[in-house]
Structure 1
Amino acid sequence: MKKIPTLFRRDPEDRKRLLRDVHPDCEWVLAGEGVPTRKYDGTCVLLDEDGSWWARREVRPGRQRPPGYRPVMTDEATGKTVGWEPIGQSAYARYLAEALASSAVGAPGTYELVGPKVNGNPEGTDGHVLVAHADAERLDAPRDFDGLRAWLLAHPAYEGIVWHHPDGRRAKLKHRDVA
């Protein structure tokens, strides 16, 4: 799991504001490559090849990493390290257990855990469920700044869009980035 770059560059003076310039690592999206999918608003969990569950965890610079933490990458801009912690020590462990009781889980991979106790339940689910990132809803979205802004504003229930390139690269654009 690597941090997914935002499709458009951020204003260095105000990191909450996007510029119209495409992030250099994401030019493939505007070239028409990749598949756009819905970005769900929950928390990311991983089912590894051994059948163990992990929770996504960001650790700020200078903070202690939790026991068993598996770092994946450090963001150069923020200094935060993104990685995985064993689900058993995560605050989301009991919600994952609820989701597993009601969700069909397939192959190892990443899932979005959504529900009443996750991020205020913006997805509006009645219970905790898992959405496989590999099975995320495919979208018919434009690929230019103005078109994407209008599309996201017209779809306020979506956290955003994630584009998936066949070679594994990804790019994202969140609703809050254009609102």
Structure 2
Amino acid sequence: MVRAVDDGRGRGRPRKDPERLARWTPPEGWSRLVAWISPEEKRALKHAAADAGVPVAELVRSLAGVLASGAVTHVELIDRAVRGRPAMEKIPTLFERDDRFRVVDRPRAECAWVFAGEGVGTEKLDGTNVRLTVRSGHLVRVEKRRNPGKEQKLLGIVDGWYVDTSPDAADDKWVLAAAGNTDVTGWADGEHSCEALGPRIQGNPLGLADHLCVPFDVAAPVYEQAPRGYRELAAYLAGLESRFSPGNLAEGIVFHHPDGRRAKIKRKDFPKAA
């Protein structure tokens, strides 16, 4: 249920004097929007606003702004919700970064569960993120990740999303080849996030002879003894052999929590002297 209210009060939160409310006069023609949301959605809005360093109201206005400008269409925004598909999750890196974008020995708060010894590490595969939809052992849909461009990032859009591939698009040729070479007959019905790998994808760092997709929830190699400390991980990843493609170095580790949370770290995230 959503309703617009134009009461002209413009009330805000208490400031220095708790008995008085700050007042803000909106531009002419503006109206106040009230919506009922779930506790989970409310927390998500608050966390996103906190990460961006802006009030929730400004975050909501930014969302409305990108819709009004056409940077994101209503289909891209609500298509997942309408069909019950989850939004793409941005996996956090274990440690904070410096101004050269290398990680430093300062754990990120949202990854505290990793340092508490929770979850298990799996190999991070260096390819292209895709999503395969399976029904009754048959591949029925292939999607690829789209990342926000420079202009979209300036509008506050930082997370990626999935879009359909097309057999007529040259850019999708090798992703579709990887999907076509992947045996999904034993996969459960649903949508599976995967890494598309192969000779013509991302420089083929694992030296694979054929294209294929590896589902994160089915086949990612497990590293149960992966360390959790900064220096230990730097040393561990420097020589970690890929279990998916022996003889080649693994790109990194993704830690998976039983409740679905994930956190990642890559070999190249560390400075050379770490």
Alignment TM class, shorter chain as reference? 0.7 to 0.9
Structure number with the bigger relative contact order (C-alpha 8 A, sep ≥ 6) is 1
| Corresponding letter in the other structure for 1:126 | A
Aligned counterpart, 2:161 = 83
1:137 aligns with 2:221: yes
The counterpart of 2:121, out of the listed 36, 40, 48, is 36
The counterpart of 2:257, out of the listed 148, 165, 172, is 165
Q: Deviations over 1:118-165 (max 9, x none)?
A: 110011100111111112000021111111110000126111000000
Identity %: 39
In structure 2, the gaps of 5 or more residues are 1-87, 242-248
Distance in structure 2 (CA, Å) of the matches to 1:91 and 1:144: 43
| Corresponding letter in the other structure for 1:163 | F
Aligned counterpart, 1:8 = 95
Distance in structure 1 (CA, Å) of the matches to 2:181 and 2:268: 30
| SS at 1:62 equivalent | helix
Alignment of 1:1-179 (within 5 A): 1-11=88-98, 14-48=99-133, 51-62=140-151, 79-88=157-166, 92-105=171-184, 106-107=187-188, 108-134=191-217, 135-139=219-223, 140-155=225-240, 157-178=249-270, 179=272
| Corresponding letter in the other structure for 2:222 | R
Structure 1 segments (4+ residues) deviating >6 Å = none
**Which has the higher Rg, Structure 1 or Structure 2?**
2
- The alignment covers a number of residue pairs equal to 166
Distance in structure 2 (CA, Å) of the matches to 1:81 and 1:3: 6
| Corresponding letter in the other structure for 2:181 | S
Q: Deviations over 1:84-103 (max 9, x none)?
A: 11111765522233223432
